[in-house]
């Protein structure tokens, strides 16, 4: 299965009804389960090039759109998009699918939702695979952050209309991708369509809360007994690996062979889908007895 455009991708989505609204998710394949988690301001569309490569090798792949993003509902309010609430919803989704354990692949803001999920229950995840993820304040260099108020609301609302998206989505991906040749109308259309409507609410929370100060999950990280692998773009200037490398290695007890620094900026799924897929498959093959 390949996804030629967002309309085709959207047609494959299923829905889980959480307490706050419907969550869209892709569920394809059979075999050991991998969950692929997006960040901000993306959706499951971020993994459209990777999913087919994993399915070919006999895996079941779950790709959710978190509430506020993609084809999922975008309810009123802002605290509904907190790490804690996102983690709770992610746990409920996997429970509804009756998936006992899985490998957890996550990107960007998906890291915060993952830490919140692990605070609730760390027994279900067999391995963590981290892709350019929010981990520690030291490595987080947000291009924008706002105090709560009218300016933040005005800027966030640009994400919900075609005209406004021209000024926020286009530069976000052009600045977050090293190889500009992969940026095209079809790619951008998928991200833009997914944010139309009420896509500003989750963005407002991100700009006024997450970008101001990250929650410190260091104690959680040190307590985890889950193997972690890292796949990171070498030119990411928003999430800088060099700033957090030693802390990640110490807290997660990561071995050097489990760190994969590849060419690319922030949205490495767009630039290096085949390489990322192969690294994931190699990791999983190594894990098998």
Q: Specify the pTM.
A: 0.96
Q: Give the pLDDT of residue 289.
A: 64
Tens digit of pLDDT for each residue in 54-82? 999 999 999 999 999 999 999 999 999 99
Among 4, 42, 46, 9, which residue's Cα sits nearest to residue 26?
A: 9
Q: Give the pLDDT of residue 198.
A: 86
Tens digit of pLDDT for each residue in 219-253? 999 999 999 999 999 999 999 999 999 999 999 99
First to last CA, the chain: 29
Q: Give the pLDDT of residue 16.
A: 98
Q: What is the mean pLDDT of residues 102-127?
A: 97
Please check whether residue 23 is in contact with residue 66, taking contact to mean a CB–CB distance below 8 angstroms.
yes
Q: Give the pLDDT of residue 235.
A: 97
Average pLDDT of the residues of the chain: 95
User: CATH 3.10.20.310: does it fit domain 6-141+215-287?
Assistant: no
Contacts of 94 (CB under 8 A, 6+ apart): 35, 62, 102, 124
Percent of the chain with pLDDT over 90: 94
State the Rg of the chain over Cα: 17
* pLDDT surpasses 80 at 35: yes
Q: Cis link prior to 41 (omega < 30° from 0)?
A: yes
* pLDDT surpasses 80 at 218: yes
Cα gap 278→81, rounded to integer Å: 32
DSSP-based three-state secondary structure for 107:
strand
Q: How far is CA 11 from CA 14, 34, 137, in A?
A: 9, 21, 38
Tens digit of pLDDT for each residue in 171-183? 999 999 999 999 9
Tens digit of pLDDT for each residue in 118-168? 999 999 999 999 999 999 999 999 988 999 999 999 999 999 999 999 999
Distance, C-alpha 35 to centroid of its chain: 10
Percent of the chain with pLDDT over 70: 99
The least confident of 33-37, 47-51, 198-202, 226-230 is: 198-202
| Domain map (residue ranges) of the chain | 6-141+215-287
Place of tokens 């690319």: 264
């Amino acid at each position: 299965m390949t996804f030629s455009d967002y309309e085709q991708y959207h047609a494959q989505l299923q829905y889980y009804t959480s307490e706050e609204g419907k969550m869209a998710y892709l569920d394809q394949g059979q075999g050991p389960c991998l969950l692929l988690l997006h960040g901000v301001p993306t959706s499951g569309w971020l993994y459209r090039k990777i999913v087919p490569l994993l399915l070919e090798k006999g895996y079941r792949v779950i790709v959710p759109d978190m509430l506020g993003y993609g084809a999922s509902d975008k309810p009123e309010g802002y605290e509904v998009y907190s790490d804690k609430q996102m983690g709770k919803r992610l746990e409920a989704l996997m429970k509804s699918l009756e998936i006992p354990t899985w490998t957890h692949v996550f990107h960007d803001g998906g890291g915060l939702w993952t830490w919140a999920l692990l605070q609730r229950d760390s027994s279900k995840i067999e391995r963590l695979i981290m892709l350019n993820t929010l981990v520690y304040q030291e490595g987080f260099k947000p291009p924008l952050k706002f105090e709560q108020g009218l300016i933040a609301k005005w800027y966030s609302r640009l994400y919900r209309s075609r005209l406004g998206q021209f000024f926020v989505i286009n530069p976000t991906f052009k600045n977050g991708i090293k190889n500009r040749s992969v940026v095209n109308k079809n790619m951008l259309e998928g991200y833009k369509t997914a944010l139309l409507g009420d896509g500003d609410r989750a963005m407002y929370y991100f700009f006024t809360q997450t970008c101001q100060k990250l929650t410190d999950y260091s104690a959680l990280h040190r307590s985890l007994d889950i193997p972690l692998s890292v796949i990171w773009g070498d030119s990411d200037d928003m999430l800088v690996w060099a700033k957090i490398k030693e802390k990640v290695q110490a807290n997660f007890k990561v071995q050097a062979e489990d760190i994969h620094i590849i060419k690319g900026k922030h949205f490495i799924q767009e630039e290096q889908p085949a390489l990322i897929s192969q690294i994931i498959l190699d990791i999983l093959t190594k894990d098998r007895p």
